[in-house]
Amino acid sequence: MHTLDQGGLMSNHLMSFLAETNWDIIIVGCGNAGVCAAITAAEYDCKILIMDSAPREMRGGNTRHTRNLRAVHDSPTDVMTDHYSFEEYLDDLMRVTKGITNEHLAEVALRGSELLPAWLSKRGVRFQPALTGTLDLGRTNAFFLGGGRSMLNSLCRHAESIGVTFIYDAEATNIALVDGFCEDIEVKWQGTNHRLSCKQLITASGGFEADLDWLSEGWGAAAKNFLVRGTPYNKGVVLRTLLDCGVQSVGALDQCHAVAIDARAPQYDGGISSRVDAVPFAVVLNKNAERFYDEGEDFWPKRYAIWGRLVASQPDQIAYAIIDADGLDRFMPSVFTPIIDNTIEGLAGQLGLDPTIVRQTIDVFNAACPKKPIDQTILDGNTTTGLGIEKTNWASPLVKPPFYGYPLRPGITFTYMGVAVNDRAQVLMQDGMPAANLFAAGEIMAGNVLGQGYLAGVGMTIGGVFGCIAGAEAARALNR
Amino acid sequence: MPLTDKTATTTTGFNLKSLLDPEAADEVIRIMQICNACRFCEGFCAVFPAMERRRDFDEHDVGYLANLCHSCGACYHSCQYAPPHEFGVNVPQALSAARIDSYAAYAWPTFLADLFRRNGTVVTLGISAGFAVTVGLMLAMISPQLFWNVHLGEGAFYQIMPHTVMAGIPMAISALVMVIFVMGWHRYWTHTGAVWGGMSALLDAVKASLTLRHLGGDTASSEFSGPGCPTADDRASNARRIYHQLTMYGFLLCFSATSAGTIYHYGFGFQAPYGYFDLPVLLGTVGGIVLCIGTGGLFAEKRRLNTAVRHESGLGMDYAFIISLFLVSFSGLLLLALRETSFMGLTLAVHLGLVYGFFLILPYSKFVHGLYRFAALIANAGEAHHEKANQLRESQ
């Protein structure tokens, strides 16, 4: 096996090169935050190694699943319409987090967001022109041309061109953190463990959403029914190591971005296309065929992020969205074809629900609906009357066959519990003192800003801004 | 659980005879259903906005979308669902498989559809046949002395082969080719359910063809400023776009050289060979050189294309077409260089043989991609126009 031997030899050479080099900075995780840090530090002439536990095609954690970032701007730009002030952004963040945020760090992230789109453009990232389409985020969010993976490809290419070294399939398994000083890092690569030394370490290794056992520490047995919409590579190994070494944690264990996704989606990595947008035009039942929340509370872009938790709190963490023929074309198509039947009872049977009770629930719902047609472009106030849980907009009886059903599960994209940092992206120890040479950026520290709730595109803002800060601060610590 | 279940969701149904290979079409449908729930790629080219105008996909949409796609790979490199993801999304490859199959599906007469499936061979055979016929005819008509003589001045070429024969053969071939093209176009148009969008749609399609807009890699960029499309890796380049256009413009120049020659001959009574600065020679020389550069570059770019993106079964057809175009133009240039030597007879025979062979197999070669793509561009411009009009109406 001549070629295999050669391959082995080559990787041995590579590994000894990596192990013998005294890196200025090692960065764990090559998502948005990690690569922003790498580029910033490389621009200060630092010798940088960035590693990702995924293979190259799946690199960059959840960046692959993102599409845009939310940014402050005073006047229309080529990528965002109108204006979005710092104050409005902060208000939005305060509203969704209900104040569970480190206001100072939130300010740092939001102020920094103003420069982010131009900074990225200059380094090869292409944006789409301001969108006015489906999500209606064209005012507040800048959309990457081709989405997050495309954006990351451009950034990584730029980083490579200015001398950053990348390795893939390399999992950071342990960090030797003694008295707040990181001495070296243990990396599992091609089946063996290696020790790499560096002067500064930046952890941009994401959350722990792919570790269902860890999720169950926050969620209990319910976690076994969760689907992970995000990357399967975020197992929180680095996060666990840091917490074990006395790093201060931030955020509650059960806080995460979770939406209701199609129950037929894969266990991991379903991403955007696994979502189901039928809810506002549906009657949503739990496994006992009861409704449990107002499906028409607000426009879907303002509500989709709460439905993951809603479904998670139902028995067996499953729900069913049922619509009739009139509802089908009112929302974005989803990846899984709905389950279809000509009768409510037949559909209930196919979904594994009790047909008699479903019939009864739908009949009661239908009777409570107003007699006028709905208008989905506005909050039409078409509300049911006399129900225990009303549907306050777009209530319309399910009468026109065929009937369609989507099974729903909670789908977790990313977790919020992480490491505490200061405004220099330095990781804080339990005594509140910053670690000497350890920084964090991205999802692993997003919980400092996003304590609960969700705001589209804020994760990329936090990752980008704190990535740049971590890179600059690590370089500064080296007197660059 | 299957991702697609067309029978469940299609309420209208269709009775048109199924033309496309079900395996190729089903893969496109499976992938489009994933893409349509994601839509991250909508800024790259026309395929994704066209997809977004649909909710369900059938083989008619497949025929249309496949011929709208350049298989540049921008979406593949950006795809969160590309292999090794279990969804295994590879839009350029699925669409190119369907596109290659669609050439066969729309071919007329239908029994010749098989020609597409053995295309590399067909090109060689076609060219050789044309070659043999020409040389044979010449030798039958003239004496060897005449063939190897130096001929100068007006009508020199026709010492070797009478003008009526030389022009008559391609005219007959052209008439046949035109009929086949019209039938192919008709089959495409009815099968994909395309709708005529008016003169503005036609104009837009012409503009898109002249600039190869959809290989620009960004629908928002102007006609000439796009980043281009990926090559061997995810790096974008405009090389393929430029070489393709050199090939196309070179071909059009050569074609206009022939037309100019025809006008010279019948309009003014001037007999070939023409002087180096006469219009037919000027157009032909420039066109021939441009065509040689274009096909050479295109060949290199095809070979450089990322293996995950390209579709191997279609490459034979691509290469065969590119090589035969190169040979046609190169032999034309050679004839120009040697026309005052005793090799004129032989070079003329080779060149004419290649040209006749090229045109004879035109409707069964990669050339048809231009036909169906142009039709798809017209349909696409019409659709986009209708959509805009509808949105305007709704917003008022």
Mean pLDDT throughout A6-16?
64
| A149 touches B: beta carbon within 8 Å | yes
Nearest to A330 by CA among A262, A280, A371, A403: A280
Alpha-carbon distance of B171 to B169, in angstroms, equals 5
For residue B126, what pLDDT is reported?
74
Mean pLDDT throughout B296-308?
90
For residue A135, what pLDDT is reported?
52
User: DSSP 3-state assignment of A267?
Assistant: coil
Q: Where are the domains of chain A?
A: 11-226+236-244+416-477, 259-411
Nearest-by-CA chain A residue for B87:
A270
For residue B2, what pLDDT is reported?
39
Handedness of CA A443, A448, A449, A453 (dihedral sign): positive
Q: A270: exposed, middle or buried (C-beta count within 10 Å: 0-12, 13-18, 19+)? A: buried
Please report, rounded to a whole number, the percentage of residues in chain B having pLDDT higher than 70: 92
| A333 touches B: beta carbon within 8 Å | yes
Mean pLDDT throughout A204-231?
96
Please report, rounded to a whole number, the percentage of residues in chain B having pLDDT higher than 90: 53
Number of Cβ atoms within 10 Å of the Cβ of B17: 6
Q: What is the pTM of this model?
A: 0.92
For residue B15, what pLDDT is reported?
38
| B82 touches A: beta carbon within 8 Å | yes
Please report, rounded to a whole number, the percentage of residues in chain A having pLDDT higher than 70: 97
Position A78 pLDDT exceeds 70: yes
Alpha-carbon distance of B74 to A262, in angstroms, equals 28
Q: What is the dihedral of CA B295, B48, B194, B394, to 10 degrees?
A: -140
Alpha-carbon distance of B141 to B309, in angstroms, equals 51
Mean pLDDT throughout A134-140?
75
CB pairs under 8 A between A and B: 91
Range scoring the smallest mean pLDDT among A109-123, B2-16, B140-154: B2-16
**Model confidence pLDDT, tens digit, residues A311-351:** 999 999 999 999 999 999 999 988 999 999 999 999 999 99
Pull the structure tokens for residue A127. 């944006």
Q: Looking at the partner chain, which of A129, A134, A271 has a beta carbon nearest the beta carbon of B80? A: A271
Question: CATH for A259-411?
Answer: 3.90.700.10
Position B227 pLDDT exceeds 80: yes
Position B224 pLDDT exceeds 90: no
Eight-state DSSP code of residue B360: H
Position A10 pLDDT exceeds 80: no
To which H or E segment does residue B288 belong?
Answer: helix B279-304
How many Å separate Cα A370 from the centre of its chain? 38
Is there a contact between A87 and A63 (Cβ–Cβ < 8 Å)? no
- At CA A469, angle to CA A463 and CA A475, rounded to 5? 130
Alpha-carbon distance of A432 to A435, in angstroms, equals 9
Which of A126, A127, A168, A273 to mutate against chain B (most B CBs within 10 Å)?
A273
Q: What is the dihedral of CA A111, A115, A120, A122, to 10 degrees?
A: -170
- At CA A62, angle to CA A56 and CA A66, rounded to 5? 110
For residue A19, what pLDDT is reported?
85
Nearest to A103 by CA among A451, A441, A425, A427: A451
Q: In chain A, what is the straight-line distance between the N-terminal and C-terminal CA atoms, in Å?
A: 47
For residue B364, what pLDDT is reported?
86
**Helix pair B163-192, B368-395: axis angle to 10 deg:** 40
Q: Looking at the partner chain, which of B4, B41, B83 has a beta carbon nearest the beta carbon of A337? A: B4
Nearest to A290 by CA among A383, A388, A406, A402: A388
Question: CATH for A11-226+236-244+416-477?
Answer: 3.50.50.60
Is there a contact between B191 and B216 (Cβ–Cβ < 8 Å)? no
Pull the structure tokens for residue A190. 């091609």
* String of DSSP letters for B90-153: -HHHHHHHHHHHHHHHH-SSGGGGHHHHTHHHHHHHHHHHHHHHHHHHHHHHS-HHHHTS---S
Position B243 pLDDT exceeds 60: yes
Q: ipTM, 2 decimals?
A: 0.94
Q: Where are the domains of chain B?
A: 6-106, 110-381
Position A87 pLDDT exceeds 90: yes
Q: Looking at the partner chain, which of A126, A269, A335 has a beta carbon nearest the beta carbon of B218? A: A126
Nearest to B386 by CA among B190, B201, B222, B192: B201
Q: Looking at the partner chain, which of A128, A148, A336 has a beta carbon nearest the beta carbon of B3? A: A336
For residue B17, what pLDDT is reported?
55
Q: How confident is the model at residue B121 (pLDDT cuts 50, 70, 90)?
A: low
Q: How confident is the model at residue B9 (pLDDT cuts 50, 70, 90)?
A: very low
How many Å separate Cα B103 from the centre of its chain? 11
Nearest-by-CA chain A residue for B42:
A146
Beta bridge mates, B236: B230
Position A5 pLDDT exceeds 70: no
Buried b (16+ CB within 10 A) or exposed e, A16-25: eebeeeebbb
Nearest to A447 by CA among A416, A421, A404: A416
**Model confidence pLDDT, tens digit, residues A274-321:** 999 999 999 999 999 999 999 999 999 889 999 999 999 999 999 999
